[in-house]
Structure 1
Amino acid sequence: MAPTAAAADIKRAYRQLVVRYHPDKHGGDARYEDQFKAVAVAYRVLSDPGRRATYDFQLQQAARRAEEARRQQQHRPATQHVYGVPMPPPAPLRTRPPAGSRERHYQRIPRQQARFTRRDWTLTLLLLAGLLLFSLAVKVTMDRVTASSNYTDGLHAYAAGNFAAAHAYFEETLHFRPDYGPALRRRGELELLLNHNPQAAKADFQAALLQPQPRRVAADLLYRLGRCDIHLGNPTAAELSFNRALVLDSTLSAAYLARGEIRLLDFNGPEPALADLTRGLAQRQRAGHAPPWQYVQLRGVALTALGRYDAARLDYFHVLRARPRDGRTHFLLGRLAAHTGDSTAACEFYRRALSLGYEYARAAEAECQ
Structure 2
Amino acid sequence: MQPSVSQNHYQILGVAATASAADIKRAYRRLVVQYHPDKHGGDIRYEEQFKAVAVAYGILGDPGKRATYDFQLAQAVRRLDEERRRQQYRPASQHVYGVPMPPPAPLRTRPPAGSRERHYQRIPKQQPRFNGRDWLLTLLFIGGIVLLALAVKVTMDRVSATSNYENGVRAYASGNLGAAYSFLEETLHFRPDYAPALRRHGELELLLQDAPHAARADFKAALQTPDLSPRDKAATYYYLGRSEAKLSQPEAAEQSFTFSLKLDSTCSAAHLARGEVRLLDLQQAAQAEADFTAGLAQRRRAGQAMPWHFVQLRGLARTALQRYDEARNDYFEVIRANPTDGRTHFLLGKLAAHTGDSAAACEFYRRAVGLGYEYAQAAEKGCK
Q: TM-score range, shorter-chain basis?
A: 0.7 to 0.9
Give the one of 319, 324, 337 matched to 1:322: 337
**Mapping for residues 136-285 of structure 1, pairs under 5 Å:** 136-212=150-226, 213-285=228-300
Give the secondary-structure state (helix, strand or coil) at the position aligned to 1:136.
helix
Structure 1 pair 51–256 and aligned structure 2 pair: CA distance change class (3 A): closer
Cα deviation, 1:196-233, whole Å, max 9, x if unaligned, reads: 11111111111111111111111111111111111111
The amino acid that maps onto 2:236 is L
Deviation (angstroms), 1:97: 9.7
User: Aligned partners of 2:323, 2:307: CA distance in 1, in Å?
Assistant: 21
Residue 64 of structure 1 aligns with which residue?
none
State TM-score, norm by structure 1: 0.75
How many equivalent residue pairs?
304
Cα deviation, 1:59-90, whole Å, max 9, x if unaligned, reads: x9xxxxxxxxxxxxxxxxxxxxxxxxxxxxxx
Deviation (angstroms), 1:358: 1.0
Residue 300 of structure 1 aligns with which residue?
315
User: Aligned partners of 1:299, 1:164: CA distance in 2, in Å?
Assistant: 35
Residue 10 of structure 1 aligns with which residue?
none
Structure 1 pair 365–116 and aligned structure 2 pair: CA distance change class (3 A): same
Mapped contact 2:48–2:113 kept (Cα < 8 A): no
User: Aligned partners of 2:179, 2:114: CA distance in 1, in Å?
Assistant: 84
Mapped contact 1:147–1:173 kept (Cα < 8 A): yes
Q: Does 1:99 align with 2:117?
A: no
User: Aligned partners of 1:155, 1:271: CA distance in 2, in Å?
Assistant: 39
Residue 351 of structure 1 aligns with which residue?
366
- Deviant stretches of 4+, over 4 Å: 48-58, 91-98, 103-106
Deviation (angstroms), 1:251: 1.0
The amino acid that maps onto 1:183 is A
Residue 41 of structure 2 aligns with which residue?
none
User: Aligned partners of 1:164, 1:351: CA distance in 2, in Å?
Assistant: 43
User: Aligned partners of 2:140, 2:180: CA distance in 1, in Å?
Assistant: 44
Mapped contact 2:165–2:187 kept (Cα < 8 A): yes
User: Aligned partners of 1:263, 1:140: CA distance in 2, in Å?
Assistant: 46
Residue 108 of structure 1 aligns with which residue?
122
Deviation (angstroms), 1:162: 2.2
User: Aligned partners of 2:111, 2:140: CA distance in 1, in Å?
Assistant: 54
Deviation (angstroms), 1:2: 11
Structure 1 pair 98–228 and aligned structure 2 pair: CA distance change class (3 A): farther
State TM-score, norm by structure 2: 0.72
User: Aligned partners of 1:295, 1:263: CA distance in 2, in Å?
Assistant: 13
The amino acid that maps onto 2:295 is G
